[in-house]
Amino acid sequence: MEYKDLQEAAIETWKAFIRKKVAPVAARIDEQEEFPFDNIKEMGRLGLLGIPYPSEYGGADLDYRTYTKFIREIARVCAATAMTVVTHTTLSGNPVFTFGTNEQKERYLKPLLSGDKIGAFALTEPGSGSDISSIQTQAVETDGSYIINGSKLFITNANVADIFIVAAKTKPESGMLGISIFIVEKGTEGFSASRKKEKKLGMRGSDTGELIFDHVKVPAGNLVGKKNLGMEVLHQTLVSARLGMAAIAIGIAEGAQMHCLRYVKERKQFDKYLYHFQSVKNMLADMEMHISAAGLLLEKAAGMKDRGKNITKEASEAKLFASETATKTTKDAVQIFGAYGYSREFPLERFFRDAKITEIGDGTSEIQRTIIADEIVKKRNYSL
């Protein structure tokens, strides 16, 4: 099958799936804080969890531009489901695919892409967020294995995952240069999820929890990449994940915009439809302009990734602009809807709550600005 035919088939598949399965349950899984197990498993069966990976591992042989379009489309109706997919497909699958051994790809990547297993990415700790070098979880090498001790907090998919990508210090005195990445399987002795689901502002259908490592023994063969060089794995993985987060943010904004465009043509005040008021037109224009610009930044970054280019700056630009677009767009959408926007009977308040995490996850807006500034100072030629 030609590439374009593969792409069109994937698009038709996900549009039908989102319309029939994701959209109808979006409000319920938010209200009940319910993880959409059935939908995630079915996405795996349909090949939607492996869009940017090769067919030899069960992927769809498509590119990141196609993948981010898929994430955008899910997020238009259910950002929590989109967050689950990005965590599973990018944060969990990418380290194994890019840095893993053939054995690791066969044993862990294939079941992730098929949906037989769910993945999680364990980096954040109670005392470590943006400062990765301050993680306290340690892994000590002994007799062909590693013993891991520590804890992780605010981990997406923590209570539902089967395969965990875990960052731990193997040379604590070296800071960032002493971090290694491991694969830990659910059920390993000494390893547990807290079973306490975080009560969150938004993304309530996405599972978030704590992980405990109490003398967890993992084989040396579960080391991803090279010992003490885990920052390379983390950097590449987080940069890729920022494209997913940007796609989620744009999807949220597009979903809010869609509801607004319908509402302003139905709702009247002072005998005029809302779209006749200049203040409403200004908000609608800003929504369109920012969504379009965010989409172009994401397309640029995803296209560069597909060509094998360094996208450190471009991924941060896309993620930063898209996330701030999502928070502004959803805030304006609630304002346009007025009391209806504040009501839980309508989806606008859910979009508004879901948008905020896009400015925090996979690197805060402050960190993205630091990355962008560092990159342009380091690489830009200022000669006149």
DSSP designation for 128: B
Residue 31 CB contacts under 8 Å (≥ 6 apart), including other chains = 204, 344
pLDDT score, position 383: 58
DSSP state of 313: H
pLDDT in tens, the chain (384 residues): 678 888 998 999 999 999 999 999 999 999 999 999 999 999 999 999 999 999 999 999 999 999 999 999 999 999 999 999 999 999 999 999 999 999 999 999 999 999 999 999 999 999 888 889 999 999 999 999 999 999 999 999 999 999 999 999 999 999 899 999 999 999 999 999 987 789 999 999 999 999 999 999 999 999 999 999 999 999 999 999 999 999 999 999 999 999 999 999 999 899 999 999 999 999 999 999 999 999 999 999 999 999 999 999 999 999 999 999 999 999 999 999 999 999 999 999 999 999 999 999 999 999 999 999 999 998 876 655
If you classify domain 3-118 with CATH, what class do you get?
mainly alpha
22, 100 contact by CB (below 8 A): no
CB 201 within 8 A of CB 353: yes
Q: Of the candidates 63, 54, 88, which has an alpha carbon nearest to the alpha carbon of residue 11? A: 63
Residue 191 burial (CB < 10 Å; 0-12/13-18/19+)?
buried
Query: How is residue 308 annotated by DSSP?
Result: T
Q: What is the pLDDT of residue 6?
A: 86
Token digits of residue 85: 């997919």
The domain limits of the chain are 3-118, 121-229, 231-379
Neighbours of 376 (CB within 10 A): 11
Residue 12 is predicted with a pLDDT of 94
Instruction: Please give the Cα distance from 350 to 330 (Å, whole number).
Output: 9
The token pair at 375 is: 């990159």
Structure tokens at 334: 């609630």
- Hey, which bits of the chain come out as E strands? 119-122, 138-142, 145-156, 163-169, 179-185, 191-193, 208-219, 223-224, 268-269, 272-273
Rounded distance, CA 192 to CA 214, Å? 9
Query: In this structure, which CATH number among 1.20.140.10, 3.40.1210.10, 1.20.120.720, 2.60.120.10 belongs to the domain 231-379?
Result: 1.20.140.10
Residue 41 parent element (H or E):
helix 37-45
Beta strand 119-122 with 163-169 is parallel
Q: Can you read off the two tokens belonging to residue 377? A: 């100072």
Q: Determine whether 286 is exposed, middle or buried from the number of CB atoms within 10 Å of its CB (0-12, 13-18, 19+).
A: middle
Paired residues of 212 in beta bridges = 151, 192
Task: List the CATH code of the domain at 121-229.
Answer: 2.40.110.10
pLDDT at 1: 64
Q: For residue 316, what are the contacts with CB-CB under 8 A and spacing of at least 6?
A: 242, 363, 368, 369, 371, 372, 375
222: nearest Cα among 189, 179, 186, 184: 184
